[in-house]
């Protein structure tokens, strides 16, 4: 074990972080090497800075003119220079402010400074690196993004356990989550991965369900379970019904208990309509973590980022910073949210009034980009192929009996045709 890693481990040992770090998480540290020496020089090298491996002329990075032509209002430092390992300091601070504004329970001193990673996948994968060993218990919903099993089972070799997302009464299956954790925890530790608004169903918990879940998880922590809760907030903010809990579950978990580490993984990807920018964030919260402990954890995160991709896209971070700090940002974002909400209401209305496709049962949905049908008859892969082949319509088949429809991708005027064609095709294949 490197002495720098040992020092970080000592600082984290009395906390839930120390108790839940993976073996890699224990080994990793941020070297006092080239990057650290360069950061020091950035502050103090007022004469010449010959540290970093970039090419400068007159103090600005040398940029090829075709690239500069496409970015006329940005300087080379804002586009082609390296970003710091953990992200642009201004953007990290601004994103923290944004998280605080969206989640009114949060206290600035009780959550970490968000680290920039290249997208939400990278945030989830980084959390897997830091907190999941082979054989560890990781719990997530039976219906989920197909990258979860790839990251946690295939990559991290966790023992994954699943809960049915919905209870028999059709709401969030809080009991199922708790029982799955209790049954599968290994050595007093479990990792729970929550994703709301949910992919693929488009479900978010009600305010009452969110509080019930937070209470139940806190009780597990109180009973001695060391619990890491990863909140995949990719689709945050797109809540279409009044009774939906309008904040992240992180808002209720960040200081729930000394045994509960809450990890918020979010990003500009879906929230700010910049999918291909690859700018995501990872933020931590746990009851009683001190500034010194947050800083030790930050070193672990920086070391991990360095081993995977060194840093995230500078131009993406710059453009996001400019967007978030623009005066028109909130107004425009509300307007875009309304465009998606209008599509949601249209889909609801189509479903409420349909007379065909009744063998397709919509799962509960109230938020996000998607809705999902459960097929009471037939096979969803067959339906997907038939829709693609005969109708030129693209949908996603999951687990043979679910069909995901991304209404976020379809203009409002086309939704009726889209859904009527899906209904007619299902009826044609397997009868009304």
The CA-CA-CA angle for residues 211, 340, 147, to 5°, reads: 65
How far is Cα 372 from Cα 344, in angstroms, rounded to an integer? 13
Q: CA 304 from chain center: how many Å?
A: 18
Q: Are 407 and 370 in contact (CB under 8 A)?
A: yes
Give the nearest distance from C-beta 259 to a second copy in angstroms.
28
Closer to a second copy by CB, 186 or 406: give it: 406
Return the bridge partners of 263, or none.
230, 284
Least gap, CB of 248 to a second copy (angstroms): 18
Q: Kindly report the number of other CB atoms within 10 A of residue 164's CB atom.
A: 13
Looking at the Cβ atoms of 24 and 166, the one nearer to a second copy is 24
Cα gap 410→393, rounded to integer Å? 11
Q: CA angle, 290 as apex, 104 and 134 as ends, to 5°?
A: 90
Shortest separation between residue 225's beta carbon and a second copy, angstroms:
27
| 3-state class (DSSP) for residue 275 | helix
In the bound complex, what is the minimum distance in angstroms from residue 117's beta carbon to a second copy? 8
Least Cβ distance, residue 243 to a second copy (angstroms): 24
Structure tokens at 329: 């940002």
DSSP 55-69: -EETTEE---HHHHH
State how far the Cα of 376 lies from the Cα of 81, in Å rounded to an integer: 54
Q: Which residues, 6+ apart, have CB-to-CB distance to 213 below 8 Å?
A: 172, 174, 177, 205, 249, 252
Q: Please say which residue, 68 or 356, places its beta carbon nearer to a second copy.
A: 68
Minimum Å gap between C-beta 397 and a second copy is: 7
Rounded CA gap, 331 and 323, in Å?
12
To the nearest whole angstrom, how small is the minimum distance from the Cβ of residue 145 to a second copy? Answer: 7
**Shortest distance, position 266 Cβ to a second copy, whole Å:** 15
Q: Which of residues 218 and 269 has its CB atom nearest to a second copy in the complex?
A: 269
**CB 191 to a second copy: min, Å:** 16
Q: Is the peptide bond before 197 cis (omega within 30 degrees of 0)?
A: yes
Choice between 75 and 356, CB closer to a second copy: 75
Structure-token pair, residue 11? 């600082």
Q: Is the peptide bond before 200 cis (omega within 30 degrees of 0)?
A: yes
Judged by beta carbon, residue 166 or residue 277, the one nearer a second copy is: 277
- Residue nearer to a second copy on the CB measure, 257 or 300: 300
3-state secondary structure of 125: helix
Cβ nearer to a second copy, comparing 24 with 245: 24
**Of residues 199 and 259, the one with the C-beta less far from a second copy:** 199
Distance, in Å, from the CA atom of 193 to the CA atom of 400, rounded to the nearest integer, reads 23
Dihedral pair phi/psi, residue 50, rounded to 5°: -105, 40
């Amino acid at each position: 074990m490197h002495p720098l890693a040992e020092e970080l481990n000592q600082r984290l040992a009395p906390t839930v972080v120390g108790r839940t770090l993976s073996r890699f998480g224990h080994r990793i540290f941020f070297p006092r090497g080239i990057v650290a020496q360069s950061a020091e020089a950035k502050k103090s090298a007022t004469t010449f800075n010959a540290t970093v491996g970039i090419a400068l002329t007159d103090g600005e990075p040398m940029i090829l003119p075709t690239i500069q032509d496409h970015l006329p209002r940005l300087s080379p430092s804002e586009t082609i220079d390296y970003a710091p390992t953990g992200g642009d300091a201004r953007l990290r601070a601004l994103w923290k402010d944004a998280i605080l504004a969206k989640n009114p329970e949060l206290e600035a001193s009780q959550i970490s400074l968000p680290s920039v990673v290249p997208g939400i996948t990278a945030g989830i994968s980084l959390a897997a690196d830091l907190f999941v060993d082979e054989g560890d218990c990781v719990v997530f919903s039976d219906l989920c993004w197909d990258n979860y099993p790839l990251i946690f089972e295939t990559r991290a070799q966790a023992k994954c356990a699943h809960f049915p997302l919905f209870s028999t009464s059709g709401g969030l299956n809080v009991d199922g989550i708790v029982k799955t954790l209790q049954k599968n925890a290994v050595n007093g530790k479990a990792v729970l991965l929550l994703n709301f608004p949910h992919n693929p169903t488009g479900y978010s918990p009600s305010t009452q369900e969110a509080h019930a879940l937070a209470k139940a998880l806190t009780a597990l922590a109180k009973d001695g379970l060391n619990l890491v809760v990863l909140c995949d907030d990719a689709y945050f903010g797109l809540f279409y019904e009044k009774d939906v809990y309008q904040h992240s579950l992180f808002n209720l978990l960040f200081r729930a208990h000394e045994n509960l580490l809450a990890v918020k993984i979010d990003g500009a990807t879906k929230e700010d309509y910049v999918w291909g920018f690859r700018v995501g964030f990872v933020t931590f919260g746990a009851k009683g973590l001190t500034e010194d402990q947050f800083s030790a954890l930050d070193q672990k995160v920086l070391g991990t980022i360095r081993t995977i991709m060194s840093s995230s896209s500078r131009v993406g971070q710059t453009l996001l910073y400019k967007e978030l700090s623009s005066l028109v940002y909130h107004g425009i974002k509300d307007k875009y949210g309304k465009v998606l909400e209008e599509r949601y209401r249209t889909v609801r209305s189509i479903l409420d009034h349909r007379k065909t496709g009744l063998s397709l049962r919509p799962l509960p949905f109230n938020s996000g980009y998607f809705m999902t049908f459960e097929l009471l008859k037939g096979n969803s892969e067959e339906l997907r192929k038939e829709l693609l082949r005969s109708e030129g319509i693209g949908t996603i088949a999951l687990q043979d009996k679910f069909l995901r429809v991304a209404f976020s991708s379809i203009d409002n005027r086309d939704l009726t045709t889209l859904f009527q064609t899906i209904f007619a095709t299902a009826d044609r294949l397997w009868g009304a």
